[in-house]
Amino acid sequence: MENHNFENEGQFQRKMTSRHLFMLSLGGVIGTGLFLSSGYTIAQAGPLGAVLSYLVGAIVVYLVMLSLGELAVAMPVTGSFHTYATKFISPGTGFTVAWLYWICWTVALGTEFLGAAMLMGRWFPDVPTWIFATLFAVIIFAINSLSVRSFAEAESFFSSIKVIVIIIFIILGLGAMFGLVSFEGKHQAILFTNLTANGAFPKGFTAVLSVMLAVNYAFSGTELIGIAAGETDNPKEAVPRAIKTTIGRLVIFFVLTIVVLASLLPMKEAGVSTAPFVDVFDKMGIPFAADIMNVVILTAILSAGNSGLYASSRMLWSLANEGMLSQKVVKINEHGVPMRALLLSMAGAVLALFSSIYAADTVYLALVSIAGFAVVVVWLSIPMAQINFRKAFLKEHSLDELAYQTPFTPVLPYITIVLLLISIIGIAWDASQRAGLYFGIPFVIFCYLYHYLRYKKW
């Protein structure tokens, strides 16, 4: 499969290394979903339920990555799952997947810029929020504009800060749990008493199902491996290596972190906390805990913004490359950057930012709901495409010719599909997330109808 369907429109540069891909997938996952939303998950599902939901979430995302790995190694193209969905499911599905993913990241981009600016308000309360939001937007745009190498290096730097802090948090947290580190002024082995203090599932097992969308959204970003495969120097080695480390990484960073948080913060405290990490560090008596975490969360937000602009611009470019958007967007400059797609994605992020300020209860609510819903639908397309790809591949080739194979195909991809469908159904049990279905499903129907009316095929 060609990475570019048009001649004389420039070419992407395969400048990302295995290290960049590893750090990109790592940094794409560790963000505000872990640093800020984890308290909400503990309060909704209960401490033990939160641990279980993150464990299931880690398994689901790993299963998705196994399917994506086979596709990305066989066909390392920029645009990734949009292109695979177009070729192996239907053009309408590819079109829908691309727009869902683009909305997902542009909405995230708008909120990242606003969130970063609000965090700066802690240190500079007299400076208007829009000044910092503009500054961060310019920085992220500049990083992405220079080259794919500059983007990858910046993301590696942001990711390393988050990883170091998570490791320190886990080590100190485990120390506090076993009474080796002072917690609330005393050395006492808390162990896992808070996990079941309110019963195994205080709000019932359906509460665990209902948080799965939020958990899946927290894990979003891992699929960036697929998008970046088209700009990686050796995808046949780099992609499988990044995927193989995914499950261990997710268990260590997410599940262990939630175990520590849920064990140290009682359920009531986690429910009202806007910054659970800060609360735990404060209870350990670490000086300037709030300021330290402010810097880390700021880094996480900039990292997400950096990845988001990269992902959304490549998805727009891929739409144009497949003939579903103006050919003008296909242009790639001498630095290997699709500048027009980058500018359009930035414009989308600015519109999302304005809607979050001026239409928070209408337009922005719809966008955020679609974004949360989009992650699961996009993931759903990956095992479906892989099943069809394998069938088509085996008609003309032998299995040995696949450099990377999804194990236990088609059983494992079907299990992945079922688990993702369950997480979509689970949304119906959470009133705060139900809007994801109300806005997400009509948006999917609209995309299919538009594609059919425009191109006369589903």
Q: Tell me the average pLDDT of the chain.
A: 85
Contact 97/84 with Cβ under 8 angstroms?
no
- List the one residue out of 433, 429, 43 whose CA is nearest residue 258: 43
Find the mean pLDDT for residues 255-272: 79
pLDDT in tens, 151-181: 889 988 888 888 888 888 899 888 988 888 8
**Pairwise pLDDT comparison (228 vs 429), residue with the higher score:** 228
pLDDT of residue 265: 80
**CB-facing half-sphere around the CA of 76: CA atoms within 13 A:** 22
Confidence of residue 64 (pLDDT cuts 50, 70, 90): very high
pLDDT of residue 155: 87
pLDDT of residue 224: 85
Rounded distance between C-alpha atoms, residue 313 and residue 329, angstroms: 10
Indicate whether 406 pLDDT > 90: yes
Token code pair at residue 428: 């119906």
Indicate whether 370 pLDDT > 60: yes
Confidence of residue 68 (pLDDT cuts 50, 70, 90): very high
Indicate whether 218 pLDDT > 80: no
Confidence of residue 138 (pLDDT cuts 50, 70, 90): very high
Find the mean pLDDT for residues 394-416: 93
CA of residue 406 relative to chain centroid, distance:
22
Domains of the chain: 18-455 (1.20.1740.10)
Q: Please tell me the total number of residues recorded for the chain in this structure.
A: 458
pLDDT of residue 2: 60
Indicate whether 270 pLDDT > 70: no
Find the mean pLDDT for residues 339-365: 87
**Pairwise pLDDT comparison (32 vs 177), residue with the higher score:** 177
Confidence of residue 36 (pLDDT cuts 50, 70, 90): low
Confidence of residue 1 (pLDDT cuts 50, 70, 90): low
pLDDT of residue 390: 96
Rounded distance between C-alpha atoms, residue 430 and residue 208, angstroms: 10
Q: In whole angstroms, how far apart are CA 282 and each of 36, 41, 265?
A: 16, 21, 12
Find the mean pLDDT for residues 74-101: 92
pLDDT of residue 365: 75
Contact 169/284 with Cβ under 8 angstroms?
no
> Residue 240: is the preceding peptide bond cis (ω within 30°)?
no
Find the mean pLDDT for residues 44-52: 83
Rounded distance between C-alpha atoms, residue 363 and residue 352, angstroms: 9
Full-model pTM: 0.88
Indicate whether 274 pLDDT > 70: no
Rounded distance between C-alpha atoms, residue 217 and residue 310, angstroms: 18
pLDDT of residue 271: 60
